Homo-oligomer: A and B are copies of this chain.
Amino acid sequence: MDEGLRERKKRETRQRIADMAMGLFLARGFDDVTVAEVARAADVSVNTVFNYFGTKEDLFLDRQSEAEDVPSRVVREREPGESVVTAFRHDFLEAIDQGDWRYGLNEGADAFARLVFESPALLARMREMDHAINGNLAATIAEETGAGPGDLTPQFVAGQILGATRLLARHALWRRQAGDSWQRIRPELREQAEALFDLLEKGIGDYGRRPLVQAAQHGGAAEDHEHEHVEGDHG
C-alpha cells in the first residue's frame, strides 16, 4: 500500500465534502446553498472546505475541470488524411449517438445544466473554463501544425470549432430542458451538426448576402440571385 492513513482520510474527506455539496446543490440550487451548510453536512469546519476547494464554484466543478484538454486529444488522435475540422465532425457525430458526456450529451446532463444556467456565478465559471479550453486547443493545434508564435490561425480555428460544438451542445441541452427526449433530439442534432460543420469547412462567405437589386427589396420574393457576384477584392 503506497497510501497511508493520512492520505486516505484526506481523500475521503474531500470526497465527502464534494458529495454533500453536490447533493445540496441539486436539491436547492447553487446560489441558495451556503458554504457553511456544506461544511455542516460534511461534518467539517468551513475552513476545511476552503482547504480543499479554493472557491465555492470549485465544489461544483470539481471533476469538470478535468475535461479541459479533452478537445486537444481529438486533434492529436485524428486519423491520417483528416483535417482538424473533420476530426471534430466525426468525434461529435459519434458523441451524439453515444450520449457522450464530453459534450454534455449524456443522460443526466440536463439536471446539471439547469443548475448552471440558473446561477450567474456558475455561468461565469463555465465561460472561464471555455476560455481555458480554447487556449489549450489552440496551443495543441499550433503545435500540431507547426504554426509560428505570431500566427493567429490556431486560436482562430480553435475558437471556430469549439464555438460550433458548444452551440450544438447548448442547443441540445436547451431542447432537453424544454422537455424533448434524447430520442427526438438526436436526429435533428445530427442534421444541425452536419450543417454547421459544412459551414465550418466551406466558409460563410455568402451568408446573408444582400440582393443587388433594390426595386422590391422586401416585397416577397427574396430568392433570386443566389450566387450572383462573388467579389474578391481582398489581398
Per-residue contact bits, chain A 148-178, to B (CB 8 Å; 1 contact, 0 not)? 0010110111011001100110010000000
A-side interface residues, number (CB < 8 Å): 67
Per-residue contact bits, chain A 106-145, to B (CB 8 Å; 1 contact, 0 not)? 0000000000000000011001100100000000010011
Segment among A58-66, A97-105, A207-215 that sits at the interface with chain B: A207-215
Q: Are A234 and B199 in contact (CB under 8 A)?
A: no
Q: Measured between C-beta atoms, what is the minimum distance from A64 to chain B in Å?
A: 17
A residues near B, CB below 8 A?
A: 75, 78-86, 89, 123-124, 127-128, 131, 141, 144-146, 150, 152-153, 155-157, 159-160, 163-164, 167-168, 171, 188, 191-192, 194-214, 217, 222, 226-229, 231, 233-235
Assembly CA distance A89 to B82 (angstroms): 29
- Closest-by-CB residue of B relative to A134 is B163
What are 13 A-B contacts defined by CB distance under 8 Å?
A81-B212, A83-B205, A83-B209, A84-B207, A146-B222, A146-B227, A152-B167, A152-B168, A156-B164, A157-B199, A160-B204, A163-B163, A202-B202
Q: Are A207 and B157 in contact (CB under 8 A)?
A: yes
Assembly CA distance A202 to B201 (angstroms): 8
Assembly CA distance A80 to B164 (angstroms): 28
| CB-CB under 8 A for A205 and B202, given A80-B210, A146-B222, A152-B192 | yes
Q: In the complex, what residues of B have CB within 8 A of residue A191's CB?
A: 235
Q: Are B127 and A89 in contact (CB under 8 A)?
A: no
Q: Measured between C-beta atoms, what is the minimum distance from A145 to chain B in Å?
A: 5
Q: Are B82 and A209 in contact (CB under 8 A)?
A: yes
Q: Measured between C-beta atoms, what is the minimum distance from A49 to chain B in Å?
A: 20
